[in-house]
């Protein structure tokens, strides 16, 4: 059974930093592109960042580029999101999500975690 | 452009058919996928690559695309289909991903 479990969400002050983690199990982690998607309270989904299966390339939304860094450790079946220079508008539930096909990168996310809540507030 | 636009809300009578649309320039080049999200739950993929259903998704869900508009059709809507629906695709550069603005579906 595929499982994605996010952790690391806390209350942090504006300008602060945070690292989110996503522990994956039930599939061959290093075969799949992984994504972070966020959802502000009461709002829609916003794609944040992706990393290819071998970590060779990453892409991030303009809203987080230069502040957030996605990474992965395939030896630990783990995905990370390093978040720096946090703003109040980064307050959201952060999901990790798995791409549907191996060795590809799409907008088709077939498994999602339950999310971890990041609150940026003074 | 990296915008995908959806109608904010639609309603459908139980057992009837509803179509949800998603408009954006990138849809002329890339397929859309569709997600269902119920309150307090993570999204679920219901349609991908225009009209493919993941295992376990009922065949009353179907997708199509024409020009810059992707559509999700629910044929014979059930009470459990009441949810928010989001489209997703690549942006016009092809490198980034983008979600639509979301449509709240109410089953009457």
- Per residue, the 3-state secondary structure of chain B, as one string, reads CCCCEECCEEEECCCCCEEEEEECHHHHCCCCEEEEECCCCCCEEEEECCCECCCCCCCCEEEEEECCEEEEEECCCCHHHCEEEEEEEECCCCCCEEECCCEEEEEC
H-run or E-run covering A104: none
Using the 8-state DSSP alphabet, how is residue A85 labeled? S
Cβ within 8 Å of residue A54, ≥6 positions away: A30, A74
Contact at CB, A45 and B99, closer than 8 angstroms? yes
- B2 Rama class: left (phi>0) / alpha (psi -120 to 50) / beta: alpha
| Model confidence at B1: pLDDT above 60 | no
Other beta carbons less than 10 A from residue A105's beta carbon? 21
Which among A50, A100, A110 has the least Cβ separation from residue B97? Answer: A50
Please give the share of chain A, as a percent, with pLDDT higher than 70: 100
Q: What pLDDT does B2 receive?
A: 65
Beta carbons of B99 and A113 less than 8 Å apart: no
Nearest CB among A45, A61, A62 relative to B86 is that of A45
Contact status, residue A121 vs residue A41, Cβ threshold 8 Å: no
B30–A contact, CB cutoff 8 A: yes
pLDDT at A7 exceeding the cut of 80: yes
The answer to whether the beta carbons of residues A36 and A24 sit under 8 Å apart is no
pLDDT at B58 over 90: yes
Q: Residue B50: pLDDT band by 50, 70, 90 thresholds?
A: confident
């Amino acid at each position: 059974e595929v499982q994605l479990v996010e952790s690391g969400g806390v209350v942090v002050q504006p300008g602060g930093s945070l690292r989110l983690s996503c522990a994956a199990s039930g599939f061959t982690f290093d075969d799949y592109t992984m994504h972070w998607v966020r959802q502000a309270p009461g709002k829609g989904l916003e794609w944040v960042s992706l990393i290819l299966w071998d970590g060779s390339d990453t892409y991030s939304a303009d809203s987080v580029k230069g502040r957030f860094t996605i990474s992965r450790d395939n030896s630990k079946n783990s995905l990370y999101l390093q978040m720096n220079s946090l703003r109040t508008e980064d307050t959201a539930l952060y999901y990790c999500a798995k791409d549907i096909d191996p060795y590809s990168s799409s907008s088709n996310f077939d498994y999602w975690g339950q999310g971890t809540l990041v609150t940026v507030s003074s | 452009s990296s915008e995908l636009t959806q109608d904010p809300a639609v309603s459908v009578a139980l057992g009837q058919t509803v179509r949800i649309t998603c408009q954006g320039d990138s849809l002329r080049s890339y397929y859309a996928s569709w997600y269902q999200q119920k309150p307090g739950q993570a999204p679920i993929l219901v349609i991908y690559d225009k009209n493919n259903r993941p295992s376990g998704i009922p065949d009353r869900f179907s997708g199509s695309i024409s020009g810059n508009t992707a559509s999700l059709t629910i044929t014979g809507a059930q009470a459990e289909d009441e949810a928010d629906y989001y489209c997703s695709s690549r942006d016009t550069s092809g490198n980034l991903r983008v979600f639509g603005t979301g449509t709240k579906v109410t089953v009457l």
